Each structure stands twice: as C-alpha cells, then as structure tokens.
Amino acid sequence: MTRFTVNNQPVEYLLDPETPLLWALRDASNLTGTKYGCGTGECGACTVDIDGAAVASCRISIAACEGRFVTTIEGLSRDRSHPVQQAFAALNVSQCGYCIPGMIMAASVLLKRVPAPTDADMDAAITNICRCGIYPRLREAIQRAGRAARGEPIGALPVPGTDPGEAARHVPALRPGQ
C-alpha cells in the first residue's frame, strides 16, 4: 500500500509500488486531466505539482510519492478560478488543448517560486512541448497570471466560479428583423 495526498485528499493505492503516478492518477483515481504524452518525461503533458515542484508524473512511481502532496489540474481549481487558468482562458492560449493541463501546472509552480518571472525564468521552468506553437500567448498568460496573483490590475478575465456546464446556454434563435 502506498499512501500520499492527492488534491488535499489522503489516498491509499493498492497498486504495484512501481506504478507510474500518471497511471495511478488516471486509472485508479479517475483524474484524467493529467495527460499521457510521451511516457519519457520530455513533453510535459503529464506535469503535476509534487510538494511545490513541477514533476512529470509518467517518470515517478507511486512509491516515490509516499507521504508527499500531489496536486493535479483538477486540484488546482475545479471552477477555473486560479490566476493561471483565468489568464489562459482570457488570452485564448489553448489550441488543441492536449498540453494545456501540464502547461498550467508548470506555470502555477513557477509563479509560486517566482511571482514576476522573466523570459529566462519561463524558459527554464516551462519545458513543456506544444505542437500547436502557443508559446507567445503562453508567456503573456504567465505574466498576466503573475500580475493577477500580485493584485495588480490586468483587465477583464472570465468570471471565476462559472460552472463549465453553465458557461454557454441554449437560447431561442432570433428571427430576421428581431
């Protein structure tokens, strides 16, 4: 049995201790926001926060997580109210979206350590790969999230706390001339 905390909830996994954290999260805990990309720790799609460090969950066993605190994209904020999630949405960072949970997790860890990151800080901390090429918007979103976290004005962001299922509603179609 392996025990640690996932998204502020104590968890005990009855899996082989060498099981990669990624598969424990996805298959046993149904936390599918953490994505499988390369399986070698190079792409960053599976990035989670472990005790304040951005870690590729495909490369760490659950045994190595014993007694630690793991935060996934689901634990960062379910209602998308975290400053990084808000900035990503406001700046339309996502394209295909596959890499985004790992990018958000890496960015949130960076901003905890460096509230006003430079381009060099971002280059060193955000090594995630995005096939869509969102990097210019990514930098802008990280800087914007940093400003928001520091309490600086940043302009309009999506309303925090909006339930994703309520973000769009069906309304009667308008007729010509209405």
pLDDT at 164: 55
Residues 6+ apart with CB under 8 A from 33: 72, 73, 74, 101
pLDDT along the chain (178 residues), means of 10: 96 97 98 96 97 98 98 91 92 92 97 96 95 93 94 66 58 65
How many residues appear in the chain?
A: 178
What pLDDT, on a 0 to 100 scale, did the predictor assign at position 78?
79
Measured between alpha carbons, how far is 85 from 87 in angstroms, rounded to an integer? 6
**pTM listed for this prediction:** 0.85
d(CA 144, CA 148): 6
Specify the pLDDT at position 1: 86
All structural domains of the chain: 2-73 (3.10.20.30), 83-149 (1.10.150.120)
Q: Which residue has the tokens 């799609």?
A: 45
Question: Which string of DSSP letters, residue by residue, matches 42-58?
Answer: SS-TTEEEETTEEEETT
pLDDT at residue 168, as a whole number: 57
